[in-house]
A and B are shown apart, each in its own frame.
Chain A
Amino acid sequence: MKRCLDEGLLQAYLDGELSHEQMSEAAAHVAACEACAGALAAAEGETAFFAAAFAPDDAVSVPTEALRSRIGAAVAQLEAGTEANHARTRGWNFGGFLASLSGLLNFTPQSAAAFAGLLAVVALAVIYFAVQRQTGKPSSFNRGEIARAGNTPPVAIPGAGKQTDEVKNANEDGTQPPKAGNVISVSARRSRGIRAERKPVTLQTKGPEVLPGEKEYQTAIASLEETIKLGGDATLRPAVRVEYERDLAILDSAIRETRRVAAQNPKDKDVTGFLMSAYQSKVELLTKVADQAQVAALGR
């Protein structure tokens, strides 16, 4: 190479982007040309300087699991937001979209088995944790909070789980047990003053107080359940459906347990973390089944 290297060639030489032949020509030229050798040295210095300012920092640790779970939740939320549109405009380019995501959503036997294992571990951890909390802290604090949420008669805190569920179920049926209603209004008045006066009225139909971040999961879950319903019974073969329903029951009980503990200790990050990861697992399970439902719907 007789002519001097222009800036592009010089840079490509520096970055090792030239072909083998061009590389040796450039090397020969730089060795002979003082101007090009100087330019190359300057370019090297500048590159190193830039690299120092913006180098990807290998020392910084990448929070893989945190990213995986928060991106999973965000995707679920995104899906929840678009589900309504999907229902309205059925068939909207969904085939290709599903195809592109199938790796994530395949409900293969292996992943189902792995998922069931994971569920069991999560549920055990959650229940163990819940029991630990329960016995460790006979939480008298926040009774007002719980009572206000309309779940638990304040006197029954130790071992309140059963009653909580009973009351909750009753509420869900739209019937309000008069006894619980009375306790709520009395304790609420005592602890909350004027603001609480209006509470018992609205609380009769309202569920437990929503924790931060919980609403997104609940929205996502509601939307996924809707999708699954659309798919109908043909979505899963009976044997798979049994597995799915069993997993779902485990998760629901895990969520219920953690939720109860979380309601008593709203500031305990560990408990809310457990709750969120239980929700996350449920969203993942539902997503897989919802995918099958959509495939089934498209196949019709």
Chain B
Amino acid sequence: MSERAVEALVDSVPETVHTAAPSFDEAFTLHHRAVFRAAYSLVRDSGLAEDVTQEVFLKLYQHLGSLQNGEHVRPWLLRVATNTALNTIRSRSRTGTREEEFVAAATVGSGGGGGPVGVEADYERRTEIEEARRALEQVKEPMRSCLLLKQQGLSYREIARALSLNEANVGSLIARGRKEFKRVYGKIGGRR
């Protein structure tokens, strides 16, 4: 490429472009792992976690203009990721396919090497996760989001920012959410 062409390209890039907010591409590079893992921790399925991640980044694409501060992007993404993942779980449990899939996955997944013991252990683990998710659904907002965002490694300040809360209340909300979760889980699963 000639020098002139290079100048032409540089000239045509607007000056106002690079502010504190990251570009979409940068945001993807920096945060897609956290978003995918946050989604996966809830949906427990790679394909679904990919769907959730895509939805989250499409929302980011549409809202990037309103996220002026680069620091706000990660908490925002994780909040949208956990909400989207919960919605995904909800809509799937409505269709009633989930349990069947778990059974099928447990049977097929560990059929090769694990033998009957592996199948049982896997099934039990999936049942536990299933019960934990159902318990989580009954924890009220904003306690549930506080719990989940804490779980994703956000600081109290980031959680407060993502959920528009007073930072001083985040600790209490996490504590209450956790107790509520344990109470409901005890009822559902009868474990612990």
Q: Which residues of B contact A56 (CB under 8 A)?
A: 34, 37-38, 40-41, 151-153
Cα-based distance from A53 to B132 in the complex (angstroms): 6
Main SS of chain B's interface residues? helix
Interface size counted on chain B using CB atoms at 8 A: 69
* B105 proximal to A (CB < 8 A): no
Mark contacts of B121-137 with chain A using CB atoms, 8 A cut-off: 1 yes-contact digit, 0 otherwise: 00000001100110010
Q: Residue among A6, A47, A53, A239 with the most chain B CB within 10 A?
A: A53
Return the chain A residue nearest B177 by Cβ: A50
A-B contacts counted at CB < 8 A amount to 178
| Residue in A60, A104, A295 whose beta carbon sits within 8 Å of that of B24 in the complex | A104
Q: Say whether A71 contacts B9, CB under 8 Å.
A: no
| Residue in A47, A97, A106 whose beta carbon sits within 8 Å of that of B65 in the complex | A97
Given contacts A67-B50, A96-B65, contact A57 B41 (CB under 8 A): yes
Binds B, one of A11-19, A27-35, A123-131, A195-203: A11-19
Q: Interface residues, chain A, CB within 8 Å of chain B? A: 6-12, 15, 17, 43, 46-47, 49-51, 53-58, 60, 62-64, 66-68, 70-71, 74-75, 78, 93, 96-104, 106-109, 112-113, 236-237, 239-240, 243, 292, 295-296
In the assembled complex, 25 residue pairs joining A and B whose CB atoms fall closer than 8 Å, in A order, are: A9-B171, A10-B171, A17-B170, A43-B175, A49-B192, A54-B41, A54-B151, A56-B37, A57-B41, A62-B32, A62-B33, A67-B53, A78-B62, A93-B65, A98-B14, A99-B19, A100-B65, A107-B12, A107-B13, A112-B1, A237-B4, A237-B5, A237-B8, A239-B2, A292-B12
